[in-house]
């Protein structure tokens, strides 16, 4: 196993790319640590599968290199890279039994029969198919076939990495949770590098130690789930992670003050002079409802009770703004203001987070 390094990588499906939008992947340099459990998260079309297929060797990048440690793998096949990949839809041999499907990658590598049998039994247990080992794959449900695909992806212990491309799409919701837990377990036990592509934040945050967020062909942030929640580096990360996502309001920033809808809000830090599109980002968890004159003018549209808390949906000027109100905390009937907690407010310039300037830290 080895660190996987993507060096100055970019990719276009067009023969002669010229404009920015011709590139499915914009230039990036990224390191995947050996043994890491990663999620590659982003909305449809942002380039996740393209990136995964470049790592596995199914696709050759237009520019840049793929390194495993210090070995250049850019021109090598998936087989030569020793990588297992599980796709969104089942890839199984219909005429073979479940057992032979699971054993196939091991027999292919010449593993002794007793080791094949032991490993197949272990994986069959993991995917809940021990009783079905002698069944032919043909005639099984899509769900069962996808479990076989997952099992085949996980059966070899000597791979450099296991790549999963939205592998649970066809699996029923209850089994989804169980399989994800087992993948995490498997990661703990065997320490493979795992990269799990998804557009579902719950899947990403429950599976991964590190989440790599993509937007429009770029990696906009890579970090722990907590880091993505606490300090989203890009407005897309703020909006995409969290339920509901981060609130964003157009703001004029002057030093340690944000001006929104004619109201001056003190910030915890100073930001100097910012030119461009400036916004204040604050998560619904860090807004408080108020009455009277203090804070930002707020109009409530509706209140959703989601069990352990309520989500208040409304707006400040033209911006949709949501507030999470913890259980037991009253919502005043005449609430007409929101008050941000300055410690958890972030400033964005042209969608990228601005690091506070220490020199201008507010008193």
Ligand X SMILES: Nc1ncnc2c1ncn2[C@@H]1O[C@H](COP(=O)(O)OP(=O)(O)OP(=O)(O)O)[C@@H](O)[C@H]1O
Nearer to ligand X, 52 or 92 (CB): 52
Nearer to ligand X, 89 or 352 (CB): 89
Closest by CA to 261, choosing from 290, 314, 297, 292, is 297
Q: Kindly state the DSSP code that residue 323 receives in the 8-state scheme.
A: E
Nearer to ligand X, 126 or 213 (CB): 213
Query: What is the rounded CA–CA span in Å between residue 218 and residue 187?
Result: 27
**Least separation, in Å, of the C-beta of 217 and ligand X?**
7
Distances (CA, A) of 200 to 31, 39, 165, 197, 305: 23, 10, 12, 9, 22
**Least separation, in Å, of the C-beta of 14 and ligand X?**
8
**Least separation, in Å, of the C-beta of 145 and ligand X?**
20
How far from chain centre, in Å, is Cα 277?
26
Nearer to ligand X, 46 or 338 (CB): 46
**Least separation, in Å, of the C-beta of 60 and ligand X?**
13
**Least separation, in Å, of the C-beta of 13 and ligand X?**
3
Nearer to ligand X, 15 or 328 (CB): 15
Backbone region of residue 300 per phi and psi (left: phi > 0; alpha: psi in -120 to 50; beta: other values): beta
**Least separation, in Å, of the C-beta of 62 and ligand X?**
12
Nearer to ligand X, 18 or 44 (CB): 44
Nearer to ligand X, 42 or 340 (CB): 42
Q: Which long-range contacts (CB under 8 A, 24 or more apart) does 125-134 make?
A: 126/151, 126/154, 126/182, 126/186, 127/151, 127/179, 127/182, 128/175, 128/178, 129/98, 132/98, 133/97, 133/98, 133/99, 133/102, 134/97, 134/98, 134/99
**Least separation, in Å, of the C-beta of 159 and ligand X?**
22
- Widest Cα–Cα separation across the chain: 77
Judged by the rule CB under 6 A, the positions of this chain that interact with ligand X are 13, 24, 42, 44-50, 199
Beta strands at 71-72 and 63-68: parallel, antiparallel or unpaired: antiparallel
């Amino acid at each position: 196993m080895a660190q996987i390094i993507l060096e100055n990588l970019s990719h276009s499906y067009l023969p002669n790319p010229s404009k920015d939008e011709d590139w499915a992947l914009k230039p990036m340099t990224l390191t995947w640590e050996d043994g890491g459990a990663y999620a590659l998260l982003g909305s449809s079309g942002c380039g996740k599968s393209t990136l995964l297929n470049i790592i596995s060797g199914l696709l050759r990048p237009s520019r840049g290199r793929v390194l495993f440690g210090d070995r250049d793998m850019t021109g090598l096949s998936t087989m030569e890279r020793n990588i297992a990949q599980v796709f969104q839809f089942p890839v199984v041999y219909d005429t073979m039994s479940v057992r032979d499907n699971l054993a196939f990658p091991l027999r292919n590598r010449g593993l002794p029969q007793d080791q094949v049998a032991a490993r197949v039994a272990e994986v069959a247990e993991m995917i809940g198919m021990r009783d079905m080992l002698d069944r032919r794959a043909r005639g099984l449900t899509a769900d069962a076939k996808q479990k076989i695909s997952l099992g085949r992806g996980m059966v070899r212990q000597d791979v450099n990495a296991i790549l999963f491309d939205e592998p649970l799409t066809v699996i029923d919701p209850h089994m989804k949770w169980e399989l994800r837990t087992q993948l995490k377990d498997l990661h703990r036990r065997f320490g493979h590098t795992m990269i799990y592509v998804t557009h579902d934040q719950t899947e990403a945050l429950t599976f991964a130690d590190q989440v790599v967020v993509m937007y429009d062909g770029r990696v906009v942030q890579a970090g722990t789930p907590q880091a993505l929640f606490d300090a989203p580096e890009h407005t897309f990360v703020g909006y995409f992670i969290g339920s509901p996502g981060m609130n964003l309001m157009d703001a004029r920033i002057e030093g340690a003050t944000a001006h929104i809808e004619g109201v001056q809000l003190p910030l915890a830090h100073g930001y100097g002079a910012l030119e461009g599109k400036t916004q204040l980002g604050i998560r619904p968890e860090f807004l408080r409802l108020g009455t009277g004159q203090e804070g930002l003018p707020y109009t409530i549209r509706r209140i959703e009770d989601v069990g352990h808390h309520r989500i208040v949906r409304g707006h400040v000027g033209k911006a949709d703004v949501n507030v999470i109100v913890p259980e037991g905390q009253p919502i005043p009937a005449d609430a007409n203001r929101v008050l941000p907690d300055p410690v958890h407010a972030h400033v964005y310039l042209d969608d990228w987070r601005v690091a506070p300037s220490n020199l201008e830290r507010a008193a």
